[in-house]
């Protein structure tokens, strides 16, 4: 009986501590860690595409993208490019590119480059990534990867020479819409450089892009 009474005090104290921890608010650090990644919905003329943006892994790139979303700057933009290997007929491998095409009235300052060697986000099927020229020049054009394409990643052995592109999220709904856009006709004469022959004859209008959930 004495031994049992000796345990009562510690048990009551433990119960009280557990009850307090269950009701106490999370610290700011824990609350931030528990916050889910944002999702956005791209409403296109061919149907919606929903993205999960990896703010926990690519915070600068996601913050840049959400500035355009929250200001409505992507409303009325287009998917204007569909790239597949030459002569490849299926719509299960390639990229579609959308955005503002450097519209001087809408683009914001460039965002710092977050390579895949830093974020760990690989260019797998459904990944969304930023278009750019030199690293650190990305602004308001981005592409969705259809099929795994690791050549778009930074080279872990030499990231300075091969910095890759800044992946920052993935498609969670509507990958079939992206594949449909990939299969649309392109103009063999339109575009310059790597884009030549990859510009859509009829760009797909983006009605709006908004956060969801």
Give 183-210 pLDDT, tens digit per residue. Answer: 999 999 998 888 899 999 999 999 999 9
CB 182 within 8 A of CB 91: yes
Handedness of CA 58, 208, 181, 174 (dihedral sign): positive
For residue 210 the two structure tokens come to 């908004």
Residue with tokens 């048990």: 11
Residues 6+ apart with CB under 8 A from 67: 73, 108
Beta pairing class for 94-99 and 167-173: unpaired
Residue with tokens 């557990």: 18
Give tens-digit pLDDT for 32-62: 456 899 999 999 999 999 999 999 999 999 9
Mean pLDDT, residues 4-18: 38
Mean pLDDT, residues 59-70: 98
Residues 6+ apart with CB under 8 A from 69: 40, 209, 210, 211
Give tens-digit pLDDT for 109-160: 999 999 999 999 999 999 999 999 999 999 999 999 999 999 999 999 999 9
Select from 203, 202, 184, 179 the least CA-distant residue to 99.
203
- What 3-state DSSP class applies to 2? helix
DSSP string covering 27-88 = PHHHHHHHSPPPEEEEEETTEEEEEEE-TTT-HHHHHHHHHHHHTTTTTT-EEEEEE--TT-
Mean pLDDT, residues 20-33: 48
Min mean pLDDT across 3-7, 68-72, 91-95, 118-122 is at: 3-7
């Amino acid at each position: 009986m004495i031994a049992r009474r000796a345990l009562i005090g510690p048990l009551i104290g433990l119960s009280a501590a557990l009850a307090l921890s269950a009701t106490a608010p999370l610290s700011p650090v824990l609350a931030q860690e528990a916050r889910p990644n944002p999702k956005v919905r791209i409403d296109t003329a061919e149907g919606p595409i929903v993205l999960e943006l990896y703010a926990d892994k690519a915070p600068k790139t996601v913050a840049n993208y959400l500035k355009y979303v929250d200001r409505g700057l992507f409303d009325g933009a287009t998917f204007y490019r569909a790239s597949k290997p030459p002569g490849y007929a299926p719509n299960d491998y390639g990229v579609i590119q959308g955005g503002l095409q450097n519209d001087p009235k809408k683009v914001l300052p460039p965002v710092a480059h977050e390579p895949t060697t830093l974020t760990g986000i690989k260019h797998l099927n459904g990944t969304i990534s930023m278009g750019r020229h030199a690293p650190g020049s990305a602004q308001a054009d981005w592409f969705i990867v259809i099929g795994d394409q690791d050549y778009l990643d930074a080279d872990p052995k030499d990231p300075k020479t091969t910095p890759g592109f800044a992946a920052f999220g993935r498609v969670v709904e509507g990958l079939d819409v992206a594949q449909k856009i990939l299969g649309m006709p392109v103009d063999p004469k339109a575009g310059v450089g790597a884009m030549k022959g990859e510009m859509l004859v009829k760009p797909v209008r983006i009605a709006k892009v908004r956060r969801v959930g």
